[in-house]
């Protein structure tokens, strides 16, 4: 068989059902194989759209997302998507075409050193130099992408490799001497954790995307049932623990809730699981740690102690470690009632609020609240980046894992819409909604064609403030209101744009039209933009200004 056939067989063998991408010169033989394969192919309109779609697909299914691009510009268009997946630990396999092996290094037409370029933003990458290594590489790529701390793996396939003949089949086993993720947590450390939790007077669970990746939401629930302690989650941890649970204090960090930030500032023992102490979470580092005892459970040893000194490190898979931890915990752990009452008090005295009495203006927070009500909190939500992302995180409460799709680590504008397309491909029956900003949407709006062509009824709710709103908010607060390059003048009218693509478009300019517009948009069975003209200068609060401690939150401005 040819290299191209081997490649497609290999992808299918690894469970690939759908591939997102765009063809081009050097990948013609591969696309020719795709033409008769049982694998579904989704042609996007930009390679960035393809890789974010693969990413969204991976987030909702838990499987590796697969995308393909041609050499040179096709490959370089994947770079943002790789970096995005790398930061958020999303399993992807990206296949790129490369110029023929004989032309590599000669600045051939559409040559780009994509393995060199992507080294820092992939978990691993390969340049295939021998057709006989192709199947081994595909097998390794999926293994590396989906195990341990997941991440993107790129396979660069030179043109001549795709037409050469391949004799060897799949290797019987994977032999990666330098790659052995630790799954089982150290027993003694787990016992130390139990002791620390027993001693704790003000325990708190700080949970993140690692819980979702490990499929440990159920174990987390059982742990919370025993500990009865407050739970705060990161942006990536939305859905790991039901946000409407009485012990949830909501998201922490820069735009976290008052209760979450105050609770972590006052806890004496923090059990951190599948989190990485990101600067957007910790605020000023020296104030964050204090004399808190940190227990940190993570599959990536390099995350432990990276930003914050940890007292009890436990390297392992969150599910596995939690199972053991639950077994080791005394079942009669007494709830820390005084602490619980205090935290409950913070929740009651400082709920999330916004100016609800804004006259005729539609407040963006209100839009998300209504969307939450109308969809009964059961939609899969993706977001763009900026204020829209934070309002979505604050007001759309998630209760299940793999329903929240947001660019956490890289903060990639233009991610949400293509990711929603991928999510819809992975979950055809689900209602998938991109909560968007008018700036971000413009970065990948071309993918409307993809949604229309493949009949993917993705919804885009635009919180249209006419601004690069999050940047404008910082300019208002920290740059004397000098709105340098944040007014999005010249942006199009989105509803007719949607219609021109063959999707549905609805514009909402008055508060009393909102519910009907949302209900109609959610139920029309078509890709739809609902363009909501919101209050232009609404801000996201609470806010921990950059470089400040978590308890220095600003609640209004």
Partner 1 sequence: MEISEHKHIISVLVTNKPGVLARVSGLFSRRGFNIESLAVGTTNDPAYSRISLVVHGDDRVIEQVTKQLNKLIDVIKVSDITHSETVLRELVLVKISAKPEQRTEILTVSNTFRGKVIDIGDSSMIVEITGHDEKIDAFIRLMKKYGIIEIVRTGKVVLVRGAATT
Count of residues binding ligand TPP (CB under 6 A)? 20
Least distance to ligand TPP, CB of residue 157, Å: 28
Closest C-alpha to 127, from 136, 139, 137? 137
By CB under 8 A, which span of 20-28, 120-128, 335-343, 486-494 interacts with partner 1? 120-128
Q: Quickly list DSSP for 252-264.
A: -STT--HHHHHHH
Q: Of 204 and 463, which CB lies nearer to ligand TPP in the complex structure? A: 463
Q: Of 137 and 217, which CB lies nearer to partner 1 in the complex structure? A: 137
Task: Enumerate residues 370-409 that contact ligand TPP by CB under 6 A.
Answer: 384-388
Least distance to partner 1, CB of residue 127, Å: 8
Backbone angles phi, psi at 282, to 5 degrees: -85, -20
Q: Of 48 and 61, which CB lies nearer to ligand TPP in the complex structure? A: 48
Least distance to partner 1, CB of residue 178, Å: 5
Provide the 8-state DSSP code for 119. Answer: G
* Binding partner of 288, given Mg ion, ligand TPP, partner 1, none, CB within 5-8 angstroms per partner class: none
* Beta-bridge partner residues of 97: 157
Please select the residue that binds partner 1; options are 73, 105, 116, 496, rule is CB under 8 A.
116
413 binding ligand TPP? (CB under 6 A) = yes
Please select the residue that binds partner 1; options are 36, 107, 177, 357, rule is CB under 8 A.
177
Count of residues binding partner 1 (CB under 8 A)? 18
Least distance to Mg ion, CB of residue 428, Å: 30
Q: Of 62 and 411, which CB lies nearer to ligand TPP in the complex structure? A: 411
Question: ω before 542 within 30° of 0 (cis)?
Answer: yes
CA R_g for the chain: 24
123 binding partner 1? (CB under 8 A) = yes
Task: Enumerate residues 134-153 that contact partner 1 by CB under 8 A.
Answer: 144
305 binding partner 1? (CB under 8 A) = yes
Provide the 8-state DSSP code for 144. Answer: H
302 binding partner 1? (CB under 8 A) = yes
364 binding Mg ion? (CB under 5 A) = no
By CB under 8 A, which span of 51-59, 302-310, 316-324, 425-433 interacts with partner 1? 302-310
Cβ within 8 Å of residue 338, ≥6 positions away? none
Please select the residue that binds ligand TPP; options are 323, 438, 447, 531, rule is CB under 6 A.
438
451 binding ligand TPP? (CB under 6 A) = no
Please select the residue that binds ligand TPP; options are 382, 440, 528, 535, rule is CB under 6 A.
440
Q: Quickly list DSSP for 395-431.
A: HS---STT-EE---SS--TT-HHHHHHHHHHH-TTS-
Q: Helix or strand or coil: residue 241? A: coil
Least distance to Mg ion, CB of residue 79, Å: 25
Q: What angle do CA 254, 256, 258 make, to 5 degrees?
A: 115
416 binding ligand TPP? (CB under 6 A) = no
Please select the residue that binds partner 1; options are 184, 285, 309, 510, rule is CB under 8 A.
309
Q: Quickly list DSSP for 145-164.
A: HHSSS--EEEEEEEHHHHHS
Closest C-alpha to 504, from 526, 520, 519, 523? 526
**CA distances, 66 to each of 90, 146, 453 (Å):** 11, 12, 19
The torsion of the CA quartet 69, 71, 72, 73, rounded to 10 degrees, works out to -20
Per-residue HEC secondary structure of 61-101 comes to: HCCCEEEEECCCHHHHCCHHHHHHHHHCCCCEEEEEEECCH
Least distance to ligand TPP, CB of residue 435, Å: 9
**CA distances, 544 to each of 124, 162, 412, 541 (Å):** 35, 52, 21, 9
Q: Which residues contribute to the site for Mg ion (CB under 5 A)?
A: 437-439, 465, 467, 469
Binding site for ligand TPP (CB under 6 A): 384-388, 411-414, 437-440, 463, 465, 467-471
List residues near partner 1 by CB under 8 A: 115-116, 119-120, 123-124, 127, 144, 176-179, 300-302, 305-306, 309
């Amino acid at each position: 068989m040819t290299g191209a056939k081997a490649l497609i067989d290999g992808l299918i063998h690894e469970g690939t059902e759908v591939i997102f991408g765009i063809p081009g010169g050097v990948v013609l033989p591969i696309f020719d194989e795709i033409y008769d394969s049982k694998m579904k192919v989704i042609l996007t309109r930009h390679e960035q759209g393809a890789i974010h779609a693969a990413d969204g697909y991976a987030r909702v299914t838990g499987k590796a997302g697969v995308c393909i691009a041609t050499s040179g510009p096709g490959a370089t268009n994947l770079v943002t998507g790789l970096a995005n997946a790398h930061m958020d630990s999303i399993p992807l396999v990206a296949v790129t075409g490369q110029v023929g092996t004989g032309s590599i290094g000669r600045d051939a037409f559409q040559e780009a050193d994509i393995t060199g370029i992507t080294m820092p933003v992939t978990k691993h990458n390969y340049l295939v130099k021998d057709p006989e290594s192709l199947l081994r590489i595909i097998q390794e790529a999926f293994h590396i992408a989906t195990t341990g701390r997941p991440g993107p793996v790129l396979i660069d396939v030179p043109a001549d490799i795709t037409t050469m003949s391949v004799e060897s089949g799949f290797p019987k086993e994977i032999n990666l001497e330098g790659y052995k993720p630790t799954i089982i947590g150290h027993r003694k450390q787990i016992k130390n954790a139990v002791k620390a939790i027993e001693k704790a007077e003000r325990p708190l669970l700080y949970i993140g995307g690692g819980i979702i990746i490990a499929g440990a939401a159920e174990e987390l629930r059982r742990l919370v049932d025993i500990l009865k302690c407050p739970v705060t989650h990161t942006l990536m941890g939305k859905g790991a623990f039901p946000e409407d649970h009485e012990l949830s204090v909501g998201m922490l960090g820069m735009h976290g809730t008052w209760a979450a930030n105050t609770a972590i500032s006052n806890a004496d023992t923090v059990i951190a699981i599948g989190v990485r102490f990101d600067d957007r979470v910790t605020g000023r580092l020296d104030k964050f740690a204090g004399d808190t005892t940190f227990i940190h459970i993570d599959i990536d040893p390099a995350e432990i102690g990276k930003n914050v000194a940890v007292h009890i490190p436990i390297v392992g898979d969150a599910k596995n470690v939690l199972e053991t931890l639950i077994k080791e915990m005394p079942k009669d752990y007494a709830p820390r009632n005084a602490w619980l009452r205090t935290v409950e008090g913070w929740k009651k005295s400082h709920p999330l609020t916004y100016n609800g009495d804004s006259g005729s203006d539609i407040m963006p927070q209100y839009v998300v609240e209504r969307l939450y009500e109308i969809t009964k909190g059961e939609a899969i939500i993706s977001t763009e980046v900026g204020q829209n992302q934070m309002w979505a995180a604050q007001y759309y409460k998630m209760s299940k894992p793999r329903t929240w799709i947001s660019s956490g680590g890289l903060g990639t504008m233009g991610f949400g819409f293509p990711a929603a397309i991928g999510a819809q491909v992975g979950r055809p029956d689900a209602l998938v909604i991109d909560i968007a900003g008018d700036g971000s949407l413009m970065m990948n709006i071309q993918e409307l064609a993809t949604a229309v062509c493949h009949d993917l009824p993705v919804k885009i709710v635009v919180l249209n403030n006419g601004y690069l709103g999050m940047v404008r908010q910082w300019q208002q607060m920290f740059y004397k209101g000098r709105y340098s390059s944040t007014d999005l003048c010249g942006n199009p009218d989105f509803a007719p744009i949607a219609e021109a693509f063959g999707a549905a478009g609805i514009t909402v300019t008055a508060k009393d039209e909102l519910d009907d517009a949302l209900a109609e948009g959610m139920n029309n069975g078509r890709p739809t933009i609902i363009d909501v003209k919101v209050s232009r200068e609404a801000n996201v609060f609470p806010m921990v200004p950059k470089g400040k401690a978590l308890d220095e939150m600003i609640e209004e401005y």
